[in-house]
Every structure is written in structure tokens, then in C-alpha cells.
Structure 1
Amino acid sequence: MKLGTIMTMLGMGAVLAACDCCPQGEAKALSQDKELRAVMDNFTQNEVPAATPLVEKREVELIRLVSLVTQQSGALLQEEVATALAQGLAPEEILEAIYQCAPYTGFPRTVDAVEIARSVFKAKNVKVDESRATVTAQSRLEAGADAQGTLFGQTFRDMAKNGKSGMPTINYFLASNCFGDYYTRKGLDLNTRELLTMAILVNLGTEPQLKAHIGANLKIRTAEYVEQAIYNCLPYCGYPRTLNALRLLKESVAETKAGAVNVADAKSMPGKDWSVFPVGKPNDAYAKYFVGKSYLDMISTEQVGVGNVTFEPACRNNWHIHHAKKGGGQILIATAGRGYYQEWGKPAVELKPGDVVNIPAGVKHWHGAAPDSWFQHLAIEVPGEGGRNEWLEPVSDEDYGKLK
């Protein structure tokens, strides 16, 4: 019986688990052509990474995983899962990246990919946390609509208020299944899932849907970051689909500039006497964690990290938490303009020059500019044992719109 017939009957994962090409569960590409392998490795491991420095290594790895799932490349996916583990990705992150493919590629590709990933975990004795769902049958619609609304606007939340019977079937499925069953899961944050959705659609070449998700990414990432993320799909989807995606990105950027009122564009940049600290350079490295544009100038990187952050009007960072086993946290000192700070479950606090905010470790919060004013603060990282930042969902337009 031919291999293609076996693949059709048993599925990609079963074949890879059973065939001689994967001894002891170790990943090994079906094709061992040395010249093709050399070209592929040079392009994927050297040339593309060198051209896309903004995209974090973790996100590069996740984009590769979803690209291989979408392209149904079992052998290379098995290799990439092993590589992802070696680079420090948690098995839950790997599985969630694969799960995120299901509403866009369908269950067959996703199920086969999950089996491949689990075969690698088993061979390497990697344990997986199986409790990653956060919704129930009763909460999935509301939770999904909230995630959808965060990315695409309040209209989706309003639509879900009518319940299943008051919505078109496709809208109900999108809110409850596509967003409720997947975007709400633990293991990957909302912004990362949206980046991976864009990568999946680049690989599929579904242009109307891709353009919408490019637009969603542009709300939380710079155009340069989105462009470089698209280039990371190129080795897997080829040039035609990559060129189409870049065209859609260009169109989306132009439409955003033409159709949206940008408060910052309507006002001049602050003058040199606005603050004793410079505005700094575009904060591209963290742009995906901000709504709007910010600038960063590191005042100190020794002993204690002190960053001078400038926010354009209406710019704010996502909800986030500073974690530490001992000590840690952050101190904010407002230096110019007008802004806000808010802790989860508490009202927002207005910040003006001279105001100081002490943020203990473990507190979920956000900070940023007022809707009509530039804002600047010093962000002082409090030393702590095992300190790290956990970036969460963006501040919704609805909640931010309540500020003045």
C-alpha cells in the first residue's frame, strides 16, 4: 500500500509514530536531501531571523509551529516541537499554539498535529498540564465575545448580549467557539493568540479574513513588527501568499492613517521644555503590549533599571503583573503631561507631574496617557528574586473611553 493511502486512512500523526523515519520517537525529516536541507536551514535559521530582529524568539518559534500545522508538514513539525522544547517553550505553549489552528484550519490537521506533539513529549518524558480551559458551557459565549470585543470592538460584545437566539448562527459560532473555546484558554495570552491567528491565515492565504486580523494586530503592534512576523511565515507558505499578505498590510496601514483620528497627529510633539527628560526612541520592542505609540529612553541599566516612557495621547500599556518570589514590583514617577494608573478592581487614578505610584509585585495594573494629553513617567524596576513581567489583555476601548 502506498504511503499516501496510509496517510489518508490513518492520519499524519499515526504514520509518523509508526514508521521507521522516527526511531525512539525522535524527530527526523522524511526528506534527507542534503542540498535542499542546506538551503532550507540557511533560509529559516539565518537569513529570515537576521531580517526580522523585532520578533521575539519565542514568537518566532510559535509562528513556525502554526505554519507547519497549517501546511500539514508532519516530519518538520515533529522536528520543530523538539526544537521548541529545547529553546525553553513550555509544552502547554506548544499545544496551545496547535489548538489555535483548529478554528482556522479545521480539526483534522489540528488533531494530527497534537498527536505528533504528544509523541515528542512522551519520548522526552515531558509532562503537560491538562487543565487549560477557562470557560464552561454557560460562560463561553460571554467570554468569547469579550475577547472578540477587545480585539475588534465593542460591537461584538453588544451582539452577544442578545444570547444565542438573538444572533445569526455564524456570529454565535464565532463568539462561543472560535473565540470562547480557544482565545480564552490558558497557556498563551490574547495578543499572542492574535499574532498566531494572523500567521495561520497568511499560510492559508484567506485574504478577507487575513486583512481583518492584520488590522487587529496593528492595534497592538507596530507595522514593522507585523511585517517581520509575516516574513517568518515565508519559508512555509512561499512567496505568493507572503506577497499577498504584505500587500494587505500596506493597505491596512494606509486605511488606518486615512480613516482613524489620531490625537497625536493633531497635536505637535512636545517641545524641548516640556520635560527635563527626552522623548526617546519609538518603543518598538514592547509595542505589542501597548495600544497607541510610546517612546522609551533608558535612564539607567545598572544597579536599578530606570526607563523614561513617553506616551502619545490615548496610548496605554496592557494590563500586566510584575512577579517576584521576593521583593520586586515597580515605582512610577510622573514627570510631564497627564496620565492614568489603574489597579484591577479599582478606579483609575489621574497622574500629574510629581505624582508617585508604588506598585507591589503581584498586582494587576496598567498605566498610560490621558485621551487628550501626552504623558511621561519614570518606571523604576524594584529589585526582586526571580522577577518577571506577565503581559495580559489590552485595556478595552470601552473602559478607557470612560476616562477624561
Structure 2
Amino acid sequence: MVDDMLRTPRAVRDAERFTAHNYHPLPVVISSAEGAWLTDVDGRRYLDCLAGYSALNFGHRHPQLIAAAHAQLDRLTLTSRAFVHDQFADFCRELAQLCGKDLVLPMNTGAEAVETGIKVARKWGYQVKGVPAGQANIVVAEGNFHGRTTTIVSFSTDEDARADFGPYTPGFTVVPYGDLAALAAAIDENTVAVLLEPIQGEQGVVVPPEGYLPGVRAVCTERNVLFVADEIQSGLGRTGATFACDQDGVVPDMYLLGKALGGGIVPVSAVAANADVLGVLKPGQHGSTFGGNPLACAVAVEVVRLLATGEFQRRSAELGERLHAGLGGLIGKGLVAVRGRGLWAGLDIDPALMTGRQACERLMERGVLAKDTHGSTLRLAPPLVITAEEIDHAVAQLAAVLAG
């Protein structure tokens, strides 16, 4: 125990002493980063295969995004939405165009975007669909991860996220992910929305069965229900397309966006939908002091412009094939299964070999940082600026860890 304490960096020990233990980070202390690489306080470099849970899709300190942030810091950082600033219209217009929607509502965190989507869907249900007051319900999926607010954990099926945080918010019906028949059966006359992740990230990068998302779209259209797609992790290039929904030829009624939208610099989230949906909100009914602030908009509009080139979507698709081919070669050699799309993969390790946490610790020792979830599952989500050689390096280090 004493030896372990001596080997643990002081910053890690102090963090454990003075911070609420709502996270269990790996014992590494990062001091700088660039592109796909992180450097710790001792000068050791690590290949980042988590990318801030997809918040760093464009890598650490992307020059175009850093330049936008620096320029804005010298001019204006916050006004609140009481006034209009000179970055706001460009961001909202260009993000709306990227999404193919009429309107954008900027917020800060992903959880705020989800909460906003829930409120908008309910208000649309009452004002447009004609659901009786207080009776609106939303259909969600088992294994979901939409955030950690009280309302959101009310419909979580992860007991770590949910237990002891009640009383819970009513108005949600949970059905198995990927089961279109169960979803259709759960919709009634008071259902206002179906809220889904096109690919479930926290659950282990779970891709739904072929035809599921188009089926959800068809059912929602037929039953006059909003299809709300949580693309906070899966969107903005991660899966090889601008949105994961694109790969199934599906257009939801509402996009929930976050993480990569802030370029890894500032928290930025947004809801995008047409005027017949987002138009139900009127002044005073929803808001955020920091939502759509000048610094956030200056960075986020550059993110949208990077995506508008299509370069990062192509990189994710092409390099994702290389990643999945390499990982596929490890099935039967320590891996039980590999899932995912683009530069996003969920790996199930043979639990007889090691836990996911142990795998991450051993990868860290070999200079690769990743994150475990649900026992023996790893998630890989490297920045989209990663190279083919760096992908091969990460796969080789994983192979070495699995081989013991």
C-alpha cells in the first residue's frame, strides 16, 4: 500500500483527497496535448484513444479553433442572451444549414441539450399535437445514456447512474434498444417523442440492427410523434458521416448536439429542429446565461466550417475501416466481439483475461489511453486527426496487452 502511494503522482492523491469521488480516473496527470497526443507532467507521451468522449473529434488544440478562441478572447466573451452579439447569427445559421433544419437553440452541455429537447417535445405535444395537460410521455431505450440530471437518470437503466437519486421524474416508457415492435407498441395517443441514440456510446458502442432507425422514423411519422436523435457522442463526424443517422438514410425531427461542437475548448451544445417544433418556445420559457455566448459561438462556428468541408467525415470513414480491420483480427485472441462505425469502437474483452479497467491500466503503461465501461468492455474513440500509423500502433499495443 505504501509503495503504491509513493508511485501515485501527488496531483492524483490530492485530487482524490479534495474532490468528490464521482470519477475513477487513471493515475496519469496530463499537462499538455497536441493533435492525438497527450503529455504528462513527467514528459511522457500518450496516444489519446478517448478524445474526451468525442468532445475532441478535431484533436487537441486544433490550430483553426485555437485561433478563433484567441481572437474572441481579445474582444468579447459574454453578453447573455439579453443582447445579440456579432458571432451569434453566423453560428446559428451555419449549424442550422449543416443540420438541414430551420432553427437552432444553443446551450452549453449535452445534458442541457437533452433537457431542452424533452421540454420542447412536451410543449409541442400540448400545443401542436393536442395531448391533454400533464399527460405527455416519451419513449426511450434500455441501455441509454443521455446525461446525469435528475430527469434524465429517471429513465436510465444503469443502476449506478440512477440508484438513490429519486423521487424520479415520470413521463417516460423504456423499451429494449433495437426492438422496433416493442417501440411501436409503447407509443400511445399521448406519446410526444421517441428519444434515442443512433448508436449507444456509453453502453459499449452498440449499433442497432439494420432497418431499425428507418423503422423508427416511419413509425414516428405514422403516429405523429417526434423522432429525437441524441447525436451528442455519435454526431459531428465520429461515425464517418456528419450524423450517425445519415448512414441509415434517416432525418430525425430534432438533433441533440454537444461535445465536439465546442472543439474541445468550451462547452457548447445545441438543439436543431424546424420552426414547427422549436417555434413552440416563446421568450421567458427557456434559456441559459451562457448558452450561445460569444466565445462559444466563435469556436463552434469554426467547428461547423471544418465539418462543412467533409474532410473529417471522410477521415473517420476511411481510417475507421483500418481500425475495425485491426481490431477484428484480435477476435479470438483476447477479444470476444468488436462493434462500432467509423473511428468509434466497443471491444468486449474475454472476462477470464482481465477487466476493462485492468486493460486500460495496462494500455496506459504502454502509452495508450482508453476508457472502460460495463465490466470488460473498452471504448475507443480517437481524435479524427489520428493517422493510419497511429491506429496501427494503438492496435498493436492492445494486442500486446491481450497477449499478456
Could you state the TM-score of these two structures normalised by the residue count of structure 2?
0.27
Q: TM-score, normalised by structure 1?
A: 0.27
Higher Rg:
1
Task: Name which structure has the greater RCO, CA cutoff 8 Å, separation 6+.
Answer: 2
